[in-house]
């Protein structure tokens, strides 16, 4: 299901339905159609108030504040900016170290994402094919393990003991191997016919090459959904960096922003600019890849980590 | 179970025997190391008074963390449990109501509705830190627009996220705002799964709107309701990232997860007691999750 399968023509028509009233209509039907259009435009008004006012409104309000000067904000905190300035963005960028943090965030989101997906296929394939005794039992156990007690405190102790605490390779290692999404591939892989691997093996194709060159391309839709989902989840993660990365140079943007608004309480234009910097990459991801993001979510298949933002 | 082992087509016979194990080795070990082990180790650490300070002993104390929590420290734990249950119930009920309402409103084929759905869904993609900043600004007790609205309506002021009466419900509201789009999408998927000819049959029988909802839509939506209620309840029991950002667990918003986090990583690092709190959260999750599944499944059958 796509959120915005936008046909610009119909959209323009929908947003100004009253324009059609002026068009000549067959006699007799005009009244009924007029009533229908009135009802339709009322529906659109309700939807616009809800979608724009309630859901997008707070985001737009924050964006607006980020263009105010600090004195402008103090004089008129809730209104339209008297002068638009980009100074807050420059200040937030230089004071908040967002440049480095954006790079960190990108590394933490992209690298483990790719490794997790590839390892996940290698883990899921033998289970999907029933190459182990009691494969289904293992699958069930893996699914159930999502309900085990929270792992945060022992993970912290373990990370210190294994020297993967407070350093980038260690953090990447933990993220890559934790692998929340591994087992959801099992269902998808079961749908790929067995003849595939039999034919490949007959032609002398090795297992690793078979997975990488035949299975991975076959799984593109599932992989894309998981990749986008995993990337966004990791980009938004606040708790793990808070616990495992005390070193400021290693902070991702979420952690950086958390520290930033502790340090600039009440300078809302500056905080707003910092927040927009953190949010913009995701808006871009959403705009380009929302099809995959929503496909994953609406199927309900990704019932993991969706509502517990940030917990490992 | 007489399930035949499937033969591995790759490599020689000897290679084929080891291939499955090699394939799962790295991800399997990684998952045990950083997923399964820390999860189970919570049980062990909950029996200690480990402080996490380097060089200090583990200090194994048996069940005394649990005993303390339910006796002399019960005022704190009881408050945690009350807040957790209020939070979970509030979010589950309101988010499902909002999601269902939005689903009915926005489940239309026209392109404009796709745009509305996208706007409703968009808060979901942001970090709690972004959402937190937005609502701390909106509800700022000095400069926020909602403060002005509140003052003109009631004539008094409020500390909002700093108010012991309001804070919890505001956090509930922000949680619902953030994830209502997600709940909506699952309800819409559910609505689209209802076969059209059932409605047509209903129309032939001349059923009214309310009957149509009560007798057709609501029962056939039951699987989506089950998923939504279960996921929102499970998600909100374990929620503390959003609370951390909005109130730091103060002003009556300290859920059990929040308490676990501050106990373990706050000013005094009591990792043992924190682990015990994580265990209590686990038991609470099992209790509520199991209960909900039982009730919701039975309901699905009855409807």
What CATH number should be reported for the domain holding residue B114?
1.10.3720.10
Phi, psi (degrees; rounded to nearest 5) at A213: -100, -20
Residue A215's SS3 state is helix
Of B42, B138, B145, which is closest to A149 when you measure between CB atoms? Answer: B42
Residue closest to B280 by CA, chosen among B63, B94, B130: B63
Tokens of B232: 């929102």
At residue A307, does pLDDT exceed 50? no
Q: Looking at chain B, which residue has its C-alpha nearest residue A78?
A: B145
Give the closest-approach CA distance of A76 to chain B in angstroms: 9
Both A110 and A243 in a single domain?
yes
Q: How far apart are CA A206 and CA A31, in angstroms?
A: 71
Both A41 and A129 in a single domain?
no
Residue B48's SS3 state is strand
Vertex A228: Cα angle to A227 and A232 (nearest 5): 115
Task: Find residue B60's DSSP bridge partners.
Answer: B48
Both B33 and B152 in a single domain?
no
Both A169 and A106 in a single domain?
yes
Q: How far apart are CA B39 and CA B45, in angstroms?
A: 10
A101, with CB counted inside 10 A (0-12, 13-18, 19+), is buried
Q: How far apart are CA A237 and CA B241, in angstroms?
A: 9
| Residue B54 covered by a domain | no
- In 10 A of CB B295, how many CB atoms? 12
Both B104 and B179 in a single domain?
yes
Which position has the token pair 């299901």? A1
Tell me the Ramachandran region of residue B206: left when phi exceeds 0, alpha when psi lies from -120 to 50, beta otherwise. left
Residue A24's SS3 state is coil
For residue B21, what are the contacts with CB-CB under 8 A and spacing of at least 6?
none
What ipTM did this prediction achieve? 0.88
Both B222 and B146 in a single domain?
yes
Both B196 and B244 in a single domain?
yes
* Any A CB within 8 A of B287 CB: no
Average model confidence (pLDDT) across chain B: 88
Of A3, A198, A261, which is closest to B118 when you measure between CB atoms? Answer: A3
| Residue B155 covered by a domain | yes
Tens of pLDDT, residue by residue over B202-260, are: 888 888 888 888 888 888 899 899 999 999 999 899 889 999 999 988 898 999 999 99
Q: How far apart are CA B46 and CA A143, in angstroms?
A: 24
| Residue A219 covered by a domain | yes
| Residue A294 pLDDT level (bands cut at 50, 70, 90) | low
| Residue B51 covered by a domain | no
Contacts of A155 in chain B (CB under 8 A): 34, 38
Tokens of B145: 């627009």
pLDDT of residue A312: 31
Both B26 and B77 in a single domain?
no
* Any B CB within 8 A of A179 CB: yes
The domain in which residue B35 lies consists of 1-45
Tell me the Ramachandran region of residue B71: left when phi exceeds 0, alpha when psi lies from -120 to 50, beta otherwise. alpha
The domain in which residue A116 lies consists of 97-298
CB contact under 8 A, B241 and A310: yes
Both A108 and A41 in a single domain?
no
Tens of pLDDT, residue by residue over A243-287, are: 999 999 999 999 999 988 777 777 888 889 989 988 888 888 888
Both A131 and A4 in a single domain?
no
Q: How far is CA A8 from CA A14, A46, B29, B131, in A?
A: 10, 21, 51, 31
Q: How far apart are CA B245 and CA A241, in angstroms?
A: 14
| Residue A303 covered by a domain | no
pLDDT of residue B77: 94
**DSSP label of B194:** S
CATH number at residue A138: 1.10.3720.10
CB contact under 8 A, B240 and A311: yes
| Residue A92 covered by a domain | no
| Residue A241 pLDDT level (bands cut at 50, 70, 90) | very high
* Any B CB within 8 A of A141 CB: no
Q: Looking at chain B, which residue has its C-alpha nearest residue A206?
A: B10
Both A264 and A153 in a single domain?
yes
* Any A CB within 8 A of B249 CB: no
Of A10, A48, A279, which is closest to B130 when you measure between CB atoms? Answer: A279
Helix axes B37-45 and B271-302, enclosed angle (nearest 10) = 120
Q: How far apart are CA B128 and CA B224, in angstroms?
A: 26
CB contact under 8 A, A154 and B126: no
Vertex B152: Cα angle to B150 and B156 (nearest 5): 65
Both A33 and A179 in a single domain?
no
Total domains, chain B: 2
Q: Whole-model pTM?
A: 0.86
Which among A69-73, A118-122, A300-304, B42-46 has the top mean pLDDT?
Answer: B42-46
Tens of pLDDT, residue by residue over A97-135, are: 888 999 999 999 999 999 999 998 998 888 888 888 887
Both A283 and A227 in a single domain?
yes
Both B89 and B171 in a single domain?
yes
Q: Kindly calculate the radius of gyration of chain B based on its CA atoms and give it in whole angstroms.
A: 25
* Any A CB within 8 A of B3 CB: yes
């Amino acid at each position: 299901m796509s959120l915005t399968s936008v046909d610009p023509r119909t959209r323009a028509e929908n947003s100004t339905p009253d324009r059609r009233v002026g068009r000549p209509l067959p006699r007799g039907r005009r009244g009924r159609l007029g009533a229908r259009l009135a009802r339709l435009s009322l529906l659109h008004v309700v939807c616009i108030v809800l979608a724009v006012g309630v859901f997008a409104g707070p985001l737009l309000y924050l964006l607006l504040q980020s263009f105010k000067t600090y004195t402008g904000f103090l004089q008129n905190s809730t209104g339209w900016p008297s002068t638009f300035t980009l100074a807050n963005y420059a200040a937030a960028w230089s004071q908040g170290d967002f440049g480095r943090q954006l790079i960190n965030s990108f590394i933490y989101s992209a690298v483990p994402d790719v490794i997790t997906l590839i390892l996940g296929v290698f883990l899921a394939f033998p289970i999907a094919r029933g190459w182990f005794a009691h494969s289904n039992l293992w699958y069930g156990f893996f699914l159930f393990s999502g309900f085990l007690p929270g792992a945060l405190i022992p993970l912290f102790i373990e990370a210190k003991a294994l020297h993967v605490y407070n350093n980038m390779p260690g953090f990447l290692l933990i993220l890559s191997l934790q692998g929340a999404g591994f087992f959801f591939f099992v269902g998808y892989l079961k749908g790929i016919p067995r003849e595939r691997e039999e034919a490949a093996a007959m032609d002398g194709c090795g297992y690793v090459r078979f997975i990488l060159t035949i299975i991975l391309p076959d799984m593109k839709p599932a992989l894309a959904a998981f990749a986008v989902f995993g990337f966004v989840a990791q980009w938004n993660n606040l708790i793990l960096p808070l616990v495992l990365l005390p070193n400021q140079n290693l902070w991702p943007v979420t952690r950086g922003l958390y520290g930033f608004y502790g340090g600039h309480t009440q300078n809302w234009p500056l905080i707003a600019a910092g927040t927009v910097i953190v949010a913009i990459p995701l808006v871009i991801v959403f705009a380009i890849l929302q099809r995959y993001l929503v496909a994953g979510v609406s199927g309900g298949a990704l019932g993991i980590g969706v509502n517990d933002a940030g917990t490992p | 179970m007489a399930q035949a082992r499937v033969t591995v087509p790759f490599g020689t016979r000897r290679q084929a025997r080891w291939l499955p194990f090699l394939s799962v080795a790295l991800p399997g070990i990684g998952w045990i190391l950083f997923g399964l082990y820390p999860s189970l180790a919570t049980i062990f650490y909950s029996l200690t008074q480990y402080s996490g300070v380097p060089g200090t002993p583990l200090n194994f104390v048996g069940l005394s963390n649990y005993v303390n929590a339910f006796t002399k420290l019960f005022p704190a734990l009881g408050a945690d449990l009350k807040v957790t249950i209020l939070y979970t119930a509030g979010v589950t009920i309101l988010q499902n109501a909002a999601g269902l309402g939005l689903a009915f409103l926005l489940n239309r084929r026209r392109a404009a509705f796709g745009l509305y759905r996208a706007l409703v869904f968009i808060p979901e993609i942001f970090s709690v830190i972004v959402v937190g900043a937005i609502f701390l600004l909106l509800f700022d007790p000095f400069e926020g627009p909602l403060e002005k609205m509140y003052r003109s309506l009631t004539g008094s002021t409020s500390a909002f996220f700093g108010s012991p009466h309001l804070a919890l419900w505001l956090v509930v509201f922000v949680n619902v705002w953030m994830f209502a789009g997600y709940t909506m999408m699952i309800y819409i998927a559910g609505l689209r799964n209802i076969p059209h000819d059932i409605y047509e049959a209903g129309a032939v029988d001349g059923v009214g709107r309310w009957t149509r909802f009560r007798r057709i839509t609501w029962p056939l939506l039951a699987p989506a309701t089950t998923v939504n209620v279960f996921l929102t309840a499970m998600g909100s029991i374990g929620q503390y990232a959003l609370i951390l950002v909005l109130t730091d667990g103060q002003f009556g918003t300290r859920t059990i997860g929040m308490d676990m986090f501050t106990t373990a990583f706050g000013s005094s690092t009591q990792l043992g007691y924190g682990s015990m709190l994580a265990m209590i959260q686990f038991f609470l999750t099992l209790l509520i999750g199991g209960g909900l599944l039982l009730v919701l499944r039975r309901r699905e059958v009855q409807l």
